[in-house]
Structure 1
Amino acid sequence: MIRNPFAQISRLLTNVSTVQSTTKLVSDAKDIRITVNKTDGEEVMADSGAPVDRGAWDNKLEFLLSCLSFAVGLGNIWRFPYLCYRNGGGVFLIPYVAMLLTTGLPLFFFELCLGQFGQEGPLTIWKICPLFTGLGLSMVMVAFFIGLYYNVIIAWAFFYLFSSFTASLPWASCDHWWNTEACRRFDSKNCTLHDGLMAMNGSCYYRDEVTPEQWRHLNATFMQSKLPADEYFHNFMLDISEGFHEEDGHHLQWHLSLCLILAWVVVFLGLFRGVSGMGKAVYFTALFPYCVLLILFARAVTLDGYSNGIAFYLTPKWEKLLEVKVFAAMYHVHVWADAAMQIFFSLGPCWGGLITLASYNKFNNNCLRDALTITVANCLTSFFAGFVIFGIVGFMAHEMGVPVEAVAAQAARGCSLSTITTRFPFEVGGSLSTITARFPFKVGGSLSTITARFIATTLVSCPVLAGAGLAFIAYPEAVARLPISPLWAILFFVMLLTLGLGSQFTIVQTVITSVVDVFELREHYMKVCVGMCVVGCSLGLSMCTKHGMYILQLLDDYSGTYSALMIGAIELTVVCWVYGIDNFMEDIKKMLGDYPTLKYYWKATWCFLTPLSVVLILVFTFVDYSPSSYGHYAYPTWANVLGWSISFTCIAAIPIRAVILVSTKSGPRITALCRPTAGWGPPDGHKDGRELPPIDSRTPLALEDEEYEMEPESSSQRATRNWSAQADEDDEEEEEEEEDGLHMKLGSRK
């Protein structure tokens, strides 16, 4: 018997009307949260429009460039070359690569997996183990403090960039009102070539012309000198005070304040559209620095003395590899500690940035390949930057007529050579009166006994500035010696800007994402972004005063070092030992489709090697701890107490949050809080046993705040539904009649 064709048509019309109603329902309620189930009284919410509302990368390249821009920052340019000089040249690459494999790469891949699987920012990702939700708050606080002073450094780069648009760079000479009598620009090549001595007043003395009377008037005060780039940085741009004790040190420097406001405006413009806008900005911030590095490298290889600088950079000093220093009755290998610290802080784990970036990935993205690509690119960038920097150092040594070692020491210490050694090269700290048995003769304690047959010089002590001093003193001084120096200065500082902004985008985005995720402010993302930039700029103005450099140094010393290391050790312990390394591996398998390559390598590093390395780095930092100082100024006790308070505040969130959770929960509290909640994992159909059921128009939706009311049926919809119901009844009757007839036929045959 033929079925009723009208029944099929009526059901089709009913389904169409149902789909229309459902479409209308979803389109009118973009932010509706559907309650899937409840576990331990906690609602597990799944955002019906999560991938759209929260934001996502437009393509894979944007994520890669964002991670690369975050990892490759100012430290790759100003710190890695200094560490190579300090730790034996090319031999430093051995511990550097070793620490990459045991610390940097495992932590980087670990946080990418965590963020990509959880699909949330650092504040809300710790549903994996609710007892340690304070970890997320600690990460965000570290990112916030770092973002405050990092943008001030970007403001400095803006100021130097604007100052470079001149025919003659303002830090190229000592003829300006901010220069002092100590300002000297050393051009000793012609003097030393003729076996002469360059005095601090710029005069060239030959050995036969130097009398005992002249030697008698040489003292440490007379020997002090500063490069013009040094005085431009400290006396003009910073207008730095003598210390916190100066009463007028709180006055704002208007030029720095304007540059800081500009820096925060640029950050806002890069982030106000969310990760979509940030993904477009990183095309420039990630790629342009490489263009500038290539241009500077091409220029450096044409300079006289370039090969000497590269030879100094690459020549290994094997004795450094096993150099052990004694400090506070403990032994530590200095070279290996420097390599571990550089890897750790270069890649930027434990600040929440990597978790934030990965949380906007597609669930099945191959984050292992991304981690390998970015970490290797980061290391190669640092290595290549060394060729550019030491090539220019070799050129400076050639121009000044001194060994490369002397200029490298000058660059590493962030100030000028106090004198030039000619016949008997050696280094003496303090003053000339300390020269004793290091000569091939006995001085006897009196400078007047030094005859004209010998030329004795010393290096006056000066602050070690392996960071800001290199970027804003040593490098600008080198650029000022190049032909067409303004052009190279513009390129160099634009490169610094893009490197800094690339990292700053991720740091600020981490804070914004955390606030938006916790307080469900996705519709108000723009307002949160504005608020973050305004607060950051307001607090950052304190570093645009005469005391500003001291405040910045204090934040740099305490905000991101001890707390970040502790966070790294704790997060690895929580995931690998509380949540379980096997469970985490299953999560990764669910994302990648299989266990990651070298599965047991990852398990060994995450469970043992990496936590041990992080703890050792933390021990080294405590062993080598010294109160904060800048140059010859030692910070007062209250300043160091304030610094430790900042570090403690960042870490204190972890135990405080744990105590609050334990005290407010009943039953087996510790056990329950160490288990992942039902909300752990991606908010879509990738959860095991937690797939969202298909939307049925006949079933009311349980919403987070209120129940969404269906629109009343129209008369045509009601008639169609009644017609469909009647047709279904007719079909059922026909099927029953067919079955009865079939049974009767079978019975008659039997």
Structure 2
Amino acid sequence: MDQRGQWDNRAAFILAAVGSAIGLGNLWRFPFKCYEHGGGAFLIAYVIALITIGIPLLLLEFSLGHRFRLAAPSAFRKVGRAFEWVGWWAVLVGFVIVTYYAVVMAWAVVYTGFSVTQAWGADPAGFFYGEVLGLTGGPFELGGVRRPLLIGLGISWTLIILAIWKSAKTVSKVVYLTVVLPWALLIIFIIRGVTLPGAAAGLHYYLAPIFGHLLNPALWGAAYGQVAYSVSIGFGIMIAYASFLPRRANITSSAVIIAVADGLTSIAGGFAVFGTLGYYAQLKGLPVTEVLKGGPGLAFITYPEVISQLPMARVFGLLFFLMLLALAVDSAFSLVEAVAAAVRDKWGLGHRASNFIVGGIAVSLGLIFTTGAGLYWLDIVDHFMEHFGLIAVLLVECIVLGWFHKTDQLRKHLNSVSKTQLGDWWPWFIRIVCPVILAALLTNGLVRELGRPYEGYPIRALVIAGWGVAALLPLLSILFSLFRGHRRDPVEETTGG
């Protein structure tokens, strides 16, 4: 084993990468986007997006991390000293996301406890927004920290730090539970969802495409944005994970397995969700198109209300929120590990020290999301990170690695360590196809955002938590790249394969 540590085996690596990719978004973000954009039509766009950017960019990040065996900033510095900041930008986007992702994980923690008594009662919406979040009238009415969320946040971060206590060695063991358990529970909820009365109406909406929706640019933007977010590219995670692989690793087929597993999990989760929505629509006497109002509402309002109507409601409630918690922990600790690995490579800190530093700063910054105004700030930051921060990082990655580095060298590296061989098409995807798609997404997002304020939030809030954070991250990235690393610079010691 080299000094970076290695995965126990290929299966552990694949499970860890799949665990990072499969998170709350597969059962929350994906179904809601599918619901918003015409069900079956969105599925078609999603599969195309997975093939055209998901798999090619996942291969790109794996090739970079494995070739140089370094975290994102140091790996980009190997490409050229002027490009280290790109790696920092990626991990900082992931760092910002984990500050609020851990709070959503805290919601799952407290709801796991509430599920035992069905504490949400007859008004799940009032309970979620009032009793749990203590939602105020706007983003500048903080309302104080909510004690249940603070406790849940403490439990969440304890689980995250324990999961990565000894780097790849600990993660290799943890993922067998945190990836396999949610899949097992998801199968239970799929069976339960599709057999509920009224499920057929929900499944018809999910699977029957209205092809006219495919002419809507917003649908394609949502599909490509979902793939980029879900596959965990653009955060430095997959670069760091690939750096822990042994020299010989069948990376190409692993990337395809991971991307397909993520896509299939989202699609399978849709059966559970839309079957349940069909039942919920019948329960309320409404069409399926009118029963869901927002992403968090699906997991913390609609599902609790449906679960309360089922036999063995307490059991199903407990299993559902345990599933959410297990899904969240993999994604959360992968975001932390990407940042911590970058810090270790740059400044030579120990594994536990880097984890505690990254975790401590993230907890401190995340406290605002536990206040009565937390949901507003979370929504703003999440929107700008998904539509601008992440897409911009991926676009710059493609430009740097496609035009300022010989992409064919990365292809040759992948082919030298993999049984499955990449053809000449892949470099052209990195140089042309992916950048064009990402630039179109970014342009479309900017035009839409400048046309009207997101969700009607005050301009000041959008400037602070949206545009401000999005602009601050590349500036911080450049600053970090200018800092001198520790004496034994990994970029000087490591040679590419």
Q: What is residue 245 of structure 2 aligned with on the other side? A: 361
2:487 corresponds in structure 1 to none
State which drifts further: 538-547 or 61-70: 538-547
Find the counterpart in structure 2 of residue 105 from structure 1. 55
Q: Tell whether the 8 Å contact from 1:628 to 1:640 is kept in structure 2 after alignment.
A: no
Q: Is the 8 A contact 1:88 1:321 kept in 2?
A: no
Aligned-partner residue type, residue 518 of structure 1: K
Q: Which has the larger radius of gyration?
A: 1
- When residues 681 and 102 of structure 1 are mapped into structure 2, their CA distance, relative to the original with a 3 A threshold, is farther
Task: Identify the match of residue 272 of structure 2 among 381, 388, 396.
Answer: 388
In the alignment, does 2:309 pair up with 1:478?
no
**Amino acid paired to 1:650:** L
Runs of 4+ in structure 1 over 4 Å off? 626-630, 653-658, 677-680
Structure-2 residue corresponding to 1:149? 100
Cα distance change, pair 624–352 in 1 and its aligned pair in 2 (3 A):
same
Amino acid at match of 1:123: P
- Secondary structure, in 3 states, of the residue corresponding to 2:104? helix
TM-score, normalised relative to structure 1: 0.62
Greater helix proportion? 2
Determine whether 1:274 maps to 2:196.
no
- Contact in 1 for aligned 2:415/2:422 (Cα 8 Å): no
1:605-664, CA deviations, whole angstroms, 9 ceiling, x for partnerless residues?
Answer: 11111111111111121122166666xx62342552442121112123566678x69xx9
Cα distance in 2, alignment partners of residues 644 and 561 from structure 1: 11
Q: 2:380 aligns with which of 516, 533, 554?
A: 554
- Helix, strand or coil: the match of 2:238? helix
Residues 700-747 of structure 1: CA deviation (Å, up to 9, x unaligned)? xxxxxxxxxxxxxxxxxxxxxxxxxxxxxxxxxxxxxxxxxxxxxxxx
Q: 1:245 to 1:141 in 2, by over 3 A?
A: closer
Deviations 1:159-208 (A, max 9, x none): 11101111xx22231xxxxxxxxxxxxxxxxxxxxxxxxxxxxxxxxxxx
Code of the residue aligned with 2:355 in structure 1: it is C
Match of 1:361, SS?
coil
Residue in 2 that maps onto 1:370:
254
Which of 304, 314, 338 is 2:207 aligned to? 314
Give the structure with the larger strand fraction: 1
Farther-moved stretch of structure 1 (293-302 vs 82-91): 82-91
Which residue of structure 1 aligns with residue 119 of structure 2?
170
Q: Deviations over 1:396-437 (max 9, x none)?
A: 2222233333xxx321x1xxxxxxxxxxxxxxxxxxxxxxxx
**Distance between the aligned counterparts of 1:519 and 1:402, measured in 2?**
58
Question: In terms of mean alpha carbon deviation, does 566-575 or 81-90 score higher?
Answer: 81-90
In the TM superposition, residue 680 of structure 1 has moved relative to its aligned partner by 5.5
Question: Once the 2 structures are TM-superposed, how far is the Cα of residue 101 of structure 1 from its aligned partner?
Answer: 1.5
**Residues in 1 aligned to 2:454 and 2:149: alpha-carbon distance in whole angstroms:** 22
**Aligned match of 1:243 in 131, 138, 143?**
138
Output the aligned Cα RMSD. Answer: 2.3
* CA deviation vs aligned residue, 1:485-511 (integer Å, no higher than 9, x gap): 221111111111011111001000111
Q: Which residue of 2 aligns with 1:612?
A: 436
Cα deviation digits, residues 38-70 of structure 1 (max 9, x gap): xxxxxxxxxxxxx44321111111100000001
Give the corresponding residue for 2:318: 490
1:540: Cα distance to partner?
1.7
* Secondary structure in 2 matching 1:164: helix
Residue type of the alignment partner of 1:648: A
Shift of 1:365: 0.5
Q: Which residue of 1 aligns with 2:149?
A: 256
Q: Which of residues 410, 414, 419 in structure 1 aligns to 2:291? A: 410
Deviations 1:4-39 (CA, angstroms, capped at 9, x unpaired): xxxxxxxxxxxxxxxxxxxxxxxxxxxxxxxxxxxx
Q: How does 1:416-565 map to 2 (within 5 A)?
A: 465=294, 467-521=295-349, 524-565=350-391
- CA drift of 1:555 comes to 2.0
Tell me, yes or no, if the aligned pair for 2:251 and 2:414 is still in contact at 8 Å.
no
Residue 488 of structure 2 corresponds to: none
The 1:308/1:638 distance shift into structure 2, 3 A limit, reads closer
Secondary structure in 2 matching 1:348 = coil
Q: Residue 62 of structure 2 contacts residue 238 of structure 2 at CA under 8 Å; is this kept in 1?
A: yes
Q: 1: distance between equivalents of 2:495 and 2:414? A: 11
Alpha-carbon distance change, 150 to 590 in structure 1, aligned in 2, over 3 angstroms: same
**Structure 2: 5+ residue runs without aligned partners?**
485-490
* Contact residue 356 and residue 510 of structure 1 kept, 8 A: yes
Instruction: Give distance in 2, aligned partners of 1:136 and 1:509.
Output: 14
* Paired residues for 1:565-576 under 5 Å: 565-576=391-402
Task: Give the paired residue count.
Answer: 490
Specify the code of the residue in structure 1 equivalent to 2:471. Answer: F
Alignment of 1:585 onto 2:411:
yes
